[in-house]
Amino acid sequence: MNISKYTLTVRNESSQFKRFAVFQTFRDTTDSAVKPLPLAWIVGAAAPGYGGQSSHSELTWRTVYNVLIVKSYHMGNDIFQTNSIEIPISPDDENGYAATYFGDFPFGAPAFVGSMMDREKGFLLIQSDHKIPTADRQYEENCFLKVGFSMAGKQASVADLIPDVFYKFALDPVYRITIGEFYPGQALGEMSVKRSHVLNFGTTTRKTIVLGANDSFSDEN
């Protein structure tokens, strides 16, 4: 498995305290029935910069991937239950899995049950079966299933897990950063993506960007 270590330094030259989120977007795959959502993958903050003094926030991660299913069950105002299952994967390999549900919904649990016959290098393929409850059933029980993948132990991209659907996730992320108050795992809308700054690492694994006035980002020369 080819694992890389990335380091991002955010240098705040504005006079304000700033919160930000690093997230990942992925190219669309036309043969997938469901489009995955980018999540607030790493949430950070930077203290104000004053005069010629700037504040630095440094983030480091490794490109370690896992495929995952997450079940979130709201059993009442004060009871919340989650179940999850994860399997290590590698973009260098062919990754294909079948997803199902064991037991009576919502009291059972989702699971991966072996590999798909058709797989493709550089992608994560998932086929759900008829035992996965429908979206209407999930809303009825206030119990929701998500499928996707994580990087470095943090969820990066998910989609609603529904029955008899083929999912295809491209494992070649574009890293982005956006200003705002987010919580880890929060789904990001189109406006957050449009306002984001692309973190183009190029052929390196270290990068420094500058946060200036008006929440603008620029690459350090």
Tens-digit pLDDT profile for residues 13-45: 888 899 999 999 887 665 666 778 899 999 999
Domain boundaries, the chain: 5-28+38-63+172-219, 66-170
What does the pLDDT read at residue 121?
A: 83
What does the pLDDT read at residue 32?
A: 60
What does the pLDDT read at residue 94?
A: 86
Q: What is the CATH number of domain 5-28+38-63+172-219?
A: 2.60.40
Residue 145: pLDDT band by 50, 70, 90 thresholds? very high
pLDDT reading at 116 higher than 80 = no
Average pLDDT over residues 187-200: 89
Residue 90: pLDDT band by 50, 70, 90 thresholds? confident
pTM (2 d.p.):
0.86
For 56-105, give the DSSP string. Answer: EEEEEEE--EEEEEEEEEEEETTEEEEEEEEEEE-TTSBEEEEEEEESST
Asked whether the beta carbons of 136 and 93 are under 8 A apart, the reply is no
Tens-digit pLDDT profile for residues 128-138: 999 999 999 99
| β-bridge mates for residue 20, sequence order | 44, 179
